[in-house]
Amino acid sequence: MKKVRPGWSRRSLVVPAALALAGGAAALAWRLISPPPSRAFGGLVRAGRPQDYAVGEVKAWGSGRFYMVRGPSGFVALYRQCPHLRCTIPPPEHGIFECKCHLSRFGLTGELLRGPAQRPMDRFPIRLVNGELVVTTGEAWVIRRTEYSDIDAFDPGPVA
Ligand code: FES
The pLDDT, as a whole number, for residue 153 is 85
Find the CATH number of the domain harbouring 81.
2.102.10.10
Residues in contact with ligand 1 by the CB-under-6-Å rule are 82, 84-85, 87, 99, 101-102, 104, 116-117
Q: Cα-Cα-Cα-Cα dihedral of 140, 145, 149, 151, to 10°?
A: -10
Q: How far is the CA of 88 from the centre of ligand 1 (A)?
A: 8
Which atom of ligand 1 is found nearest the CA of 104? 3
Domain membership of residue 18 (yes or no) is no
> Which residue's alpha carbon is at the smallest distance from atom 3 of ligand 1?
102
- Give the Cα separation of 82 and 99 in Å (integer): 7
Which atom of ligand 1 is found nearest the CA of 86? 1
Q: What is the pTM of this model?
A: 0.76
Domain membership of residue 9 (yes or no) is no
| Residue type at position 13 | L
Domain membership of residue 136 (yes or no) is yes
- Give the Cα separation of 99 and 113 in Å (integer): 12
Domain membership of residue 160 (yes or no) is no
| Residue type at position 149 | S
Q: Render pLDDT for 56-110 as a digit per residue (tens, 0 to 9).
A: 999 999 888 999 999 988 999 999 999 999 999 999 999 999 999 999 999 999 9
Task: Answer yes or no: are the C-beta atoms of 85 and 74 closer than 8 Å.
Answer: no
- Mean per-residue pLDDT of the chain: 85
**Number of structural domains the chain divides into:** 1
| Residue type at position 51 | Q
